[in-house]
């Protein structure tokens, strides 16, 4: 394994509930290195998705420190946080969350524009990804014309588009049958291993865990290695 891509140190997250406060994450510590693909399992409501949101700089931790590529994300300006999300973090959600009025090719080009990458580089990367994910025949199709599996593959291509350091996948196989679901997880694993990335997958699907390097269990806001 190479250098650390993600380091989480004593991270806790509180949410207010009327006059009381609920601690959803409790002293989380985790390191994920280059080439490492980890899974987080646990019951609904245990804090898994909240943890992904905190790692992805969508939520701020109440306590503790999160570093991506040795940058402490809480210390960054709003502008720098947006850049970090655009360039260093790839999100894959349970629902593909594609933009209905953009065709497959434009979904990827939009990501490239947001990150201010060169147009030529972006087009080359988009073609390469769509070919690799067997979507090259679908470049001009809109989301309404795609199957569930195709939509999720477009979402994966979009997550990989800017060559992010870390991929965060929240139940990426939930809307897929077992064969397509396994292919999706294999694609994530291949991207991590071949391009020295890190990935964290939150999942309920234990059939996918053999593709991961480590499995962690989340329970009542606490994370432990399974």
> Per-residue confidence of the chain (226 residues) as pLDDT tens digits?
578 999 999 999 999 877 889 999 999 999 999 999 999 999 888 899 999 999 998 899 999 999 999 889 888 888 888 888 888 999 998 778 899 999 999 999 888 888 777 777 788 888 888 888 888 899 999 999 998 888 988 999 999 988 899 999 999 888 778 888 888 899 899 989 998 999 999 998 888 999 999 999 999 999 998 7
Q: Residue 95's domain spans which residues?
A: 4-225
CA distance 102 to 98: 8
CATH of the domain at 9: 3.40.50.300
C-beta separation of 161 from 133 below 8 A: no
Residue 222 has a pLDDT of 94
**Can you tell me which residue has the tokens 């946080």?**
81
Angle between helices 178-194 and 148-160 (to 10 degrees): 10
Name the strands in the sheet holding 63-68, side by side, starting at the edge strand that comes first in the sequence.
20-33, 4-17, 63-68, 71-72
Q: How many domains does the chain have?
A: 1
pLDDT for the residue 44:
86
């Amino acid at each position: 394994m190479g250098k650390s891509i993600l380091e989480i140190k004593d991270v806790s997250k509180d949410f207010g509930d009327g006059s009381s406060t609920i601690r959803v994450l409790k002293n989380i510590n985790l390191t994920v290195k280059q080439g490492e693909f980890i899974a987080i399992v646990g019951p609904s409501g245990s804090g898994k998705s909240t943890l992904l949101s905190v790692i992805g700089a969508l939520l701020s931790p109440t306590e503790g420190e999160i570093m991506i590529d040795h940058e402490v994300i809480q210390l960054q300006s709003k502008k720098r946080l947006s850049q970090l999300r655009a360039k260093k973090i790839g999100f894959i959600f349970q629902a593909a969350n594609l933009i209905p009025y953009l065709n497959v090719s434009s979904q990827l080009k939009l990501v490239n524009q947001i990150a201010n990458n060169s147009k030529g580089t972006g087009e080359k990367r988009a073609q390469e990804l769509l070919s690799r994910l067997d979507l090259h025949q679908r470049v001009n199709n809109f989301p309404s014309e795609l199957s569930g599996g195709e939509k999720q593959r477009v979402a994966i291509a979009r997550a990989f588009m800017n060559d992010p350091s870390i991929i965060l996948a929240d139940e990426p196989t939930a809307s897929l049958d077992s064969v397509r679901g396994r292919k999706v997880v294999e694609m994530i694993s291949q991207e991590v291993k071949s391009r020295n990335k890190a990935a964290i997958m939150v999942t309920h699907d234990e059939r996918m865990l053999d593709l991961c390097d480590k499995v962690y269990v989340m329970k009542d806001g606490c994370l432990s290695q399974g």
